[in-house]
Structure 1
Amino acid sequence: MKLFISIMLTLQLCITSFTANAESINYYVIDKQAMPFQITTDSEKHSGIVSDIISCIFMDNYTVRYHTYPFNRMISELEAGREKNWVTFGSPGWGGVQAANLSDIPIYTVSHSILTSAKSDFIYRDLKDINKKILVLLYGFDYPNLQPLIDSGEIKELRVKDYAAAFRILDKMPQDSAFVEMTSRIKYNLKIQSRDLKQYKLQDFSALIPSYPIYLALDPKMDKDIQKFINQKLSNMSDSGSLTEIIHRYI
């Protein structure tokens, strides 16, 4: 009888393990614009704050399938719902699929800064200080607090495809341009491009774009057991300090 019970328990564990591993997690990555949250290379290796969190969560339990697209294409793919049990990152204020179903706890709090050339005498105090500046912004990303000012013509925008282009514009137009982006992204991209922060001025822009938390964004139709698993693992990572450790690898 004891042998029978032992066999049945073993079979149950195997079935449970098989069930856990039978589902794939579809992880969506923004190509070349989301560093240090998602870092992609030509060798298709993935790293970054969000990618390392995903690897840690699903290390022993699920197969992770990576889907890498430019930002707008990624959003279109998520909205189309071609893959189930997908995960990426998002925030309540972003709206759409990146806000529809978020993890229980945030993974990071982002702030925005305005970057100018050190050759510029620009000091940001309030909105009127940027009226005569050309604001450099990244393609594909929305800036809800800035958009009404852009639409009204109070602020001129210049969209660029990546950080290297943004930094080049600041170098070429030091008195006329300013780059608005997440502080963490600015610092990380200056670092990996071997640019000296002393050649630029980084000023807080939270008065116009307040700091806000980002979360893991989950498929609204995600399997409930998988969603529960993600939230539990994320909570454990927060309590153990491993979440902070991952963040400090990049920022």
Structure 2
Amino acid sequence: MKRFISIMLTLQLCIASFTANSESINYYVIAKQAMPFQITTDDEQHSGIVSDIIAKIFMDKYTVNYHVYPFNRMISKLEAGGEKNWVTYGSPNWGSVQAENLSDKPIYTVSHSILSNAKSDFSYTDISDIKDKVFVLLYGFDYPTLQPYIDSGVIQELRVKDYAAAFRILDKMPNDAIFIEMTSRIKYNLKIQSKDLSSYHLQNFSALIPTYPIYLAFDPNMDSELQLFINRQLSALEDAGTLTDIINHYI
């Protein structure tokens, strides 16, 4: 009898451990550079388009463990395997671990723009217009369609750690520098830093960086039932108009 009780207790502990693991997901967040998709605060509060979608999907169903890292370090963590059943966001255009296993539906369509200082008369029509400009780009992010121009020396790049630094360079070098970034992130960061958009000139840059969709990106070894649950929840959020509401809240 004692042996039976011991076996049953062991089984219950194993089941409890499995349940705890199956009801927990690991969400990876880029620190400081991913607003408005992922927004973090000093008191460890999370918001933003992707973070709000994650919160809605797993609300009352799973425990979300947040892992916040600078971009390059986050990618290194994920390429090394990451925590079990991890999720973040990605795109087929980005390659590597952020493209290996994506949600069935996209969550947003990304476009890129050129931001220049309004004091400059700069206007973009083709590559010849930007050959003498300093391209301000964020550390860590790759731009595959720009890389051949960077490698050949046609484009002179200047990497910065955040948006505040990018805006400062545009203000100090109005006739020489241009900032290339996602349109949504430019607009959001200008707003939160109380920058007036009329002080800058925003031009579409889809000729060199075409628009593309972004998705939720999953652990390549994610539990199949969990991935099915996420995709179903994401579809329900889209059908209910919740995805559009979340996006419109930030952009």
Q: What TM-score do you get using the length of structure 1 for normalisation?
A: 0.92
Which range moves more in the overlay, 79-88 or 140-149? 79-88
1:45-56 aligned within 5 A: 45-56=45-56
Deviations 1:85-113 (A, max 9, x none): 00000000100000000000000000000
Q: Which residue of 2 aligns with 1:42?
A: 42
1:169 Cα deviation from its structure 2 partner: 0.2
Equivalent pairs counted in the alignment come to 236
1:19 Cα deviation from its structure 2 partner: 3.7
- Distance between the aligned counterparts of 1:101 and 1:53, measured in 2? 18
1:24 Cα deviation from its structure 2 partner: 1.1
Q: Which residue of 2 aligns with 1:179?
A: 179
Q: Which residue of 1 aligns with 2:160?
A: 160
After superposing on structure 2, the runs of 4+ consecutive aligned residues of structure 1 that deviate more than 6 Å are none
1:156 Cα deviation from its structure 2 partner: 0.3
Q: Which residue of 1 aligns with 2:125?
A: 125
Q: Percent identity?
A: 76
Q: Which residue of 1 aligns with 2:105?
A: 105
Q: Which residue of 2 aligns with 1:78?
A: 78
Deviations 1:227-249 (A, max 9, x none): 00000000000011001000011
Contact residue 112 and residue 181 of structure 1 kept, 8 A: yes
- Distance between the aligned counterparts of 2:101 and 2:79, measured in 1? 13
1:189 Cα deviation from its structure 2 partner: 0.1
Which runs of no fewer than 5 residues in structure 2 stay unpaired?
1-14
Q: Which residue of 2 aligns with 1:69?
A: 69
Structure 2 residue matching 1:93: 3-state secondary structure: coil
Q: Which residue of 2 aligns with 1:206?
A: 206
- Distance between the aligned counterparts of 1:247 and 1:71, measured in 2? 22
Contact residue 20 and residue 61 of structure 1 kept, 8 A: no
Deviations 1:41-90 (A, max 9, x none): 11110000000000000001110000000000000000111411000000
Q: Which residue of 1 aligns with 2:94?
A: 94
Cα RMSD of the aligned pairs, angstroms, is 1.4
- Distance between the aligned counterparts of 1:52 and 1:82, measured in 2? 22
Structure 2 residue matching 1:215: 3-state secondary structure: strand
Deviations 1:201-243 (A, max 9, x none): 0000001000000000000100000000000000000011001
Contact residue 21 and residue 61 of structure 1 kept, 8 A: no
1:151 Cα deviation from its structure 2 partner: 0.4
Deviations 1:177-215 (A, max 9, x none): 000000000000000000000000000000100000000
Q: Which residue of 1 aligns with 2:33?
A: 33
- Distance between the aligned counterparts of 2:148 and 2:210, measured in 1? 16
Q: Which residue of 1 aligns with 2:8?
A: none
Structure 2 residue matching 1:124: 3-state secondary structure: coil
Q: What TM-score do you get using the length of structure 2 for normalisation?
A: 0.92
1:23 Cα deviation from its structure 2 partner: 2.9
Q: Which residue of 2 aligns with 1:247?
A: 247
- Distance between the aligned counterparts of 1:239 and 1:136, measured in 2? 39
- Distance between the aligned counterparts of 1:82 and 1:114, measured in 2? 34
- Distance between the aligned counterparts of 1:236 and 1:82, measured in 2? 28
Contact residue 88 and residue 218 of structure 2 kept, 8 A: yes
Contact residue 21 and residue 63 of structure 1 kept, 8 A: no
Which runs of no fewer than 5 residues in structure 1 stay unpaired?
1-14
Contact residue 23 and residue 61 of structure 2 kept, 8 A: no
